[in-house]
A and B are shown apart, each in its own frame.
Chain A
């Protein structure tokens, strides 16, 4: 099974600041066939179901603000949220869908100071 190691566990920032969340996979998520990384990022606000933010490591889902940026390749991935807003208060998860069983990172709780 592919293990997803996500960090940090939590972070607290003020509005307008930038945050970085990391996800490391135990094996490469890069497909040699199409050169895509099978890594997605989700946002889960309190009391809500998860919402897809980023897929293929860096493609923003339709309607997602451009302050959410996904980057990385192979085994190391990053979600950057620039100009954090109060509405970004949520838990964030990475997911590898390169192979079964699909595995999530342990999550990062973003708090707003």
Chain B
């Protein structure tokens, strides 16, 4: 059974950094493109970033380029999202997604002073 479990969210002050993790199990992790998708409270879904199977290719939405870094550790079956210079508009539930097909339960990030 595919399992994705995000962690690392919380309440953070504007301008600070945070690193989200997503532990994957139940499938051959290294074979799949992985992604982060976020959803602000009461809002729709917003793709954030994707990473290729080997990690050599990364893609970002324009609004997070230069502040967010997606990475993966295929030996640990774990996906990461480093978020720097947090802004209030980054407040959202962040979902980890396997090939945009399977999703984790999400981790909430709240940016507030």
Instruction: Return the chain A residue nearest B95 by Cβ.
Output: A49
> In the complex, what residues of A have CB within 8 A of residue B76's CB?
none
Q: What is the minimal beta-carbon distance from A15 to any residue of chain B, in angstroms? A: 26
**B45 near A101 (CB under 8 angstroms)?**
no
Q: Chain A contact residues (Cβ within 8 angstroms of B): what range?
A: 20 to 34
B100 within 8 Å of A (CB atoms): yes
B interface SS class: strand
Give the contacting residue for A102; candidates B47, B101, B102, B103; CB below 8 A.
B47
**A93 near B44 (CB under 8 angstroms)?**
yes
- State whether A52 and B104 are in contact (beta carbons under 8 Å apart), knowing that A104-B46, A107-B44 are contacts in the complex: no
A-B contact pairs, 9 of them (CB 8 A): A49-B104, A50-B45, A50-B95, A52-B100, A52-B103, A95-B45, A101-B60, A101-B61, A103-B47
Contact with A along B47-88 (1 / 0, CB 8 A): 100100000000111100000000000000000000000000
Q: What is the minimal beta-carbon distance from A46 to any residue of chain B, in angstroms? A: 12
With most chain B CB atoms within 10 A of its CB, the pick from A40, A91, A93, A104 is A104
Instruction: Return the chain A residue nearest B93 by Cβ.
Output: A49
A97 within 8 Å of B (CB atoms): yes
B105 within 8 Å of A (CB atoms): yes
A51 within 8 Å of B (CB atoms): yes
- State whether A100 and B46 are in contact (beta carbons under 8 Å apart), knowing that A49-B106, A50-B103 are contacts in the complex: no
